Amino acid sequence: MGWWKAARSIPASILSFATSVFVRLVGAAALALLLATCAQPPSLLTQIKQLGVLRVVTRNSPTTFYFGSHGPTGFEYDLARLFAEDLGVRLEVYAPLSLTDVLDAVRDGYADIAAAGLSITRTREQHLRFGPPYQYVTQKVIYRYGEPRPDSPADLVGHGLMVLADSSHAARLEVLQEQYPKLKWTASDAVESEELLAQVAHADLDYTVADSNEFALDRRYYPELRAAFDLKPPEPIAWAFRRTDDLSLYNAAVAFFSRIRADGKLAQIVERYYGASDDFDYVGTRTFIHDIKTLLPDYQPWFQDAAENTGIDWRLLAAIGYQESHWDPHAVSPTGVRGVMMLTLGTAGDLGIENRINPEQSILGGAQYFSLMKARIPDEVHEPDRTWMALAAYNVGIGHIFDAREITRERGGNPNRWIDVRASLPLLTEKKWYSQTKYGYARGEQPLIYVANIRSYYSILNWITSQPKSTTDETGTVTASSE
């Protein structure tokens, strides 16, 4: 069961979607009364602004929306929240249990927008209007490592193949069936895409189809999964609107996307969710998950104590510790750094750490050192970029981060964004650049891999340690507001 399933258990304080529909209906009635004498009904956008709520229907998945350790999160959620902020209204998110329900909700006007990693398909375009694409994905056939790798749709014939009902994957299989009449599959609306991946990983199902973005995130948790081949060329992902003559909300979304594309916010959100998945060592994941079970329990209380001492999430500290030493208190590097958090003798001395080999002391020292790095990152750098820059500083030294920020500024980038600073760090290996900086040469590639790995470890730990907070509501659906 995926960690976002915790989303099915919602705090009572969160507004329910039904309430919103009620509010919308009452609001609509009031508006109707108010406008009885007016010729033109207000546009959808005006209604949304007057009622102060944007209703977004989504899916509960790692690429869309889920409850993380700090509350509602997810790529689509962040995008929708930004749009609601832009409109000056509250966001209300509703995640029904199937893709069919997502599509119906927006088609029937129960939601203003469907933001659910939806592919633009011809069938859908008959009753939905798609906004500007913000991602391109490929449909990947997924199999389990160790099983024969299928090379074409013909190889899927005679095997168990399951996809989501009403998905773009099911639509594609229908087209392929004309060419491969023996191709058979099950289309289910009782599972989420991650559950299909889990079934393949656990050898309960031969094959499934997943969007490339989803696979990129989920394979961290299921390292035995492999992509066999693409079912079709890349296809666009976009928000879906109801297909009516009222284009007010749609036009506002078009303007919103062109703005966030131009000012780099879209790239920042993409980086936030997918930035760590590019260079990740998937084979290493298996060992990591094993080490979480076997080694972490011994160290977790110390990470938690250090978290209490510094206010840094213990899971992030544990992720740093894993990247540094694989939680080995006797780890030692050729440069003389030692212990779980790999402190130098000088740093340990500055922090008053007497014995770097002692895991408790090392963890506390590492946490304090990381806090210091965080505090030294300038105030204008906000989360999560602040954490990523502090991690890079932990690895390469804060002076080089200051230098990379300078270079970023010089190159016209934004020194407050990790995505831009990250691009400048490798320049610290080039004389042309490092000769102009205060702290000189640095192995600028190294912190990139370091930060990316820690982010992946952190996200796996979040997944494994997330627990449902209460019980499922009686409809089995999730609602949340951004407030």
Residues marked active site are found at: 324
Cβ nearer to ligand GLU, comparing 89 with 142: 142
Cβ nearer to ligand GLU, comparing 99 with 425: 99
Using CB under 6 A, pick the residue from 167, 323, 387, 414 that binds ligand GLU.
Answer: 167
Q: Which pairing describes strands 161-164 and 207-211: parallel, antiparallel, or unpaired?
A: parallel
Cβ nearer to ligand GLU, comparing 124 with 315: 124
Tokens in use for 439? 């702290």
Q: Which stretch binds ligand GLU (CB under 6 A): 39-47, 112-120, 274-282, 303-311?
A: 112-120
Residue 383's Cβ-count burial label (10 Å; 0-12, 13-18, 19+) is exposed
Question: Smallest gap, in angstroms, from Cβ of residue 215 to ligand GLU?
Answer: 9
Q: Which stretch binds ligand GLU (CB under 6 A): 3-11, 47-55, 117-125, 448-456?
A: 117-125
Cα angle: 128, vertex 134, 138; to 5 degrees = 90
Beta strands of 155-243 (E only): which ranges? 161-164, 186-188, 207-211, 225-230, 235-237, 240-242
Q: Does 173 bind ligand GLU (CB under 6 A)?
A: no
Question: Smallest gap, in angstroms, from Cβ of residue 114 to ligand GLU?
Answer: 10
Question: Smallest gap, in angstroms, from Cβ of residue 166 to ligand GLU?
Answer: 7
Cβ nearer to ligand GLU, comparing 137 with 340: 137
Q: Which stretch binds ligand GLU (CB under 6 A): 87-95, 162-170, 299-307, 471-479?
A: 162-170
Number of chain positions touching ligand GLU (CB under 6 A): 10
Using CB under 6 A, pick the residue from 48, 89, 91, 118 that binds ligand GLU.
Answer: 118
Using CB under 6 A, pick the residue from 211, 218, 271, 403 that binds ligand GLU.
Answer: 211
The stretches of 57-155 forming alpha helices (DSSP H) are 75-87, 99-107, 122-125
Cβ nearer to ligand GLU, comparing 47 with 60: 60
Residue type, 352: G
Using CB under 6 A, pick the residue from 168, 285, 416, 424 that binds ligand GLU.
Answer: 168
ω into 132 cis (within 30 of 0):
no
Cβ nearer to ligand GLU, comparing 119 with 368: 119
Question: Smallest gap, in angstroms, from Cβ of residue 121 to ligand GLU?
Answer: 7
Please, are residues 358 and 371 in contact by the beta-carbon 8 Å criterion? no
Q: Residue 448, CB half-sphere, CA atoms under 13 Å: how many?
A: 20
Q: Which stretch binds ligand GLU (CB under 6 A): 106-114, 161-169, 372-380, 420-428?
A: 161-169
- Secondary element (H or E) of residue 140: strand 139-144
Return the bridge partners of 93, or none.
56, 480
Using CB under 6 A, pick the residue from 20, 73, 119, 361 that binds ligand GLU.
Answer: 119
Please, are residues 465 and 315 in contact by the beta-carbon 8 Å criterion? yes
Tokens in use for 357? 């080999």
Distances (CA, A) of 429 to 185, 401, 412, 440, 442: 52, 13, 20, 9, 6
| Gap between the Cα atoms of 30 and 27, Å rounded | 5
| Gap between the Cα atoms of 229 and 14, Å rounded | 42
Residues between 86 and 105 with contacts to ligand GLU, criterion CB under 6 A: 99
The contact pattern for ligand GLU, residues 213-242, with x = CB under 6 A and - = no contact, is -x----------------------------
Tokens in use for 69? 């350790």
The backbone torsions φ and ψ at residue 420, rounded to the nearest 5 degrees and listed phi first, read -80, -45
Using CB under 6 A, pick the residue from 193, 347, 361, 481 that binds ligand GLU.
Answer: 193
Question: Smallest gap, in angstroms, from Cβ of residue 200 to ligand GLU?
Answer: 13
Residues between 362 and 401 with contacts to ligand GLU, criterion CB under 6 A: none
Q: Which stretch binds ligand GLU (CB under 6 A): 30-38, 111-119, 128-136, 400-408?
A: 111-119
Distances (CA, A) of 322 to 245, 280, 455, 471: 55, 14, 11, 33
Cβ nearer to ligand GLU, comparing 167 with 479: 167
Q: Does 252 bind ligand GLU (CB under 6 A)?
A: no
Using CB under 6 A, pick the residue from 164, 253, 353, 419 that binds ligand GLU.
Answer: 164
Residue type, 400: H
Count H helices, E strands: the chain?
A: 20, 15
Cβ count within 10 A of residue 148: 9
Q: Which stretch binds ligand GLU (CB under 6 A): 163-171, 252-260, 391-399, 471-479?
A: 163-171
Q: Which positions touch ligand GLU (CB under 6 A)?
A: 99, 117-119, 164, 167-168, 193, 211, 214
